[in-house]
Structure 1
Amino acid sequence: MSYIEPYIMAYGALALFVIVYLESFGMPLPGESALVASSLMALHGLMQIDAVLIAVVTGAILGDSTGYVIGRFGGRKLLEKHGHRVKLTPSRLAGFERQFEKNGFLVVASARFFVLLRQLNGIIAGSMKMRPTRFMAANIIGAIGWALVWGLGPYLLSGALAPYVAPVKNWFG
């Protein structure tokens, strides 16, 4: 995280937007850590919490949407061509697609809370031919929920929990 903090300090919400956007379509960046850190920076007056939340929600939605387009127009062909290397046969792929049709909305809406799924969410949804309107609705719900939990949550709870954190820190040295 220390290598990203200077960018957030220098460029603020724009840097946060770029980090979350790139992470949301597959790049291995610490979007969630950057969000929590930015939330705490906002708590100390170094950033505006509304700018943090807007940047994160926008970056998450656009990043997942970019991944969706990549998956929609190239992911399926890639899976069909190279899926056998990971034992993804055409019948398994069809079964996976049926399961995604049934539970895809929940997967997309909750994927942002799980590290690897957060990066591959849109690509998988696009590869599984999830309907664009259904994907976008789940994508928006997931992005807003994630931003509220990991952005607004630390911002609101840090002050309230501070008296309880100090004694716990002392237990561990």
Structure 2
Amino acid sequence: MSFLAESAVIVESYIREYGLIALAATIYLESFGVPLPGESALVGASLLAARGDFSIGNLFLVVWIASVLGDSTGYTIGHFGGRPLLLRFGPRVGLTPERLVNVEDLFHRHGPTIVIVARFVVLLRQFNGLVAGSVAMPWTRFVLANIIGAALWSAVWSFGPYFLGDLFHKGWG
């Protein structure tokens, strides 16, 4: 079994046992770079909410807050130490100093859009805040985009499975 599949099984058992606090911890940690199956956990929790185990409104609110706080933590880490780490270790993953300049330019021109859209892309979601902080995206622009992106992402993955879960189950069941 792969690391992510094993993690999903573990996370699901914690959500069943500890409820929304376990989900909040998973989403928070994933949002600043820890490789956890946050989106999968959220889909599972949404289906549990559809079954009546959680309030969908509480689920959405917890996930939204956890994802905003997680990305903000990533931003803070990136702001206070990310650039030296990117310069030192970036070339190992193809982020050369020249490419870093391009990334900085992209964030300066399109930072809010990147922050909002990256929320929906695996890996970009996890490192979004770290990179934004590392390239000195202005805090106020980051926070606003982070709040909007987290709200959209949380809504899609909370309410989507909640309202559409039966359709998929009936279609494939």
Asked if these proteins are the same fold (TM beyond 0.5), I'd say yes
Partner of 1:169 in structure 2?
172
Report SS of the residue matched to 1:26.
coil
CA distance in 2, matches of 1:99, 1:150: 27
Instruction: Choose which of 33, 44, 49 in structure 1 pairs with 2:40.
Output: 33
Q: Hey, what does 2:66 align to over in structure 1?
A: 59
Counterpart amino acid of 2:144?
A
Q: Unpaired runs of 5+ in structure 2?
A: 1-7
Q: Post-superposition shift, 1:49?
A: 0.9
Identify the residue that residue 3 of structure 2 maps to in structure 1. Answer: none
Aligned-partner residue type, residue 169 of structure 1: W
Matched to 2:131, the amino acid is: I
Match runs of 1:107-118 below 5 Å: 107-118=114-125
**Long gaps (5+) in structure 1:** none
Alignment partner, residue 47 of structure 1 = 54
Change (3 A) 1:47 1:88: closer
Are the structure 2 counterparts of residues 43 and 82 from structure 1 closer, same or farther at C-alpha, using a change threshold of 3 Å? closer
- Confirm whether residue 76 of structure 1 aligns to residue 83 of structure 2: yes
How far apart in 2 are the matches of 1:115 and 1:89? 22
Is the radius of gyration larger for structure 1 or structure 2? 1
* Structure 1 residue 87 displacement after superposition: 5.5
Q: What's the Cα RMSD here?
A: 1.7
Shift of 1:83: 3.9
Q: CA deviation at 1:100?
A: 1.4
What's the TM-score once normalised by structure 1's chain length?
0.88
Offset of residue 86 of structure 1: 4.8
- Verify: 1:157 aligned to 2:161, yes or no: no
Q: What is the one-letter code of the residue matched to 2:40?
A: S
Rounded to whole Å, the distance in 2 between the matches of 1:79 and 1:115 is: 19
Corresponding pairs, count = 166
Q: Quick one: which of 98, 107, 113 aligns to 1:106?
A: 113
Residues of 1 paired with 2:37 and 2:102: CA distance?
A: 32
- Secondary structure, counterpart of 1:46 in structure 2: coil
Deviation at 1:113, TM superposition (A): 0.7
Cα gap change, 1:152/1:81 in structure 2, threshold over 3 Å: closer, same or farther?
same
- Deviation of 1:3 (Å): 1.6
Letter in 2 for 1:61: V
How far apart in 1 are the matches of 2:45 and 2:147?
Answer: 21
Q: Match of 2:106, SS? A: helix
- Per the normalisation by structure 2, the TM-score is 0.88
Residues 119-134 of structure 1: pairs in structure 2 closer than 5 A: 119-134=126-141
User: CA separation in 1, counterparts of 2:77 and 2:67?
Assistant: 15
Counterpart residue type for residue 77 of structure 1: P
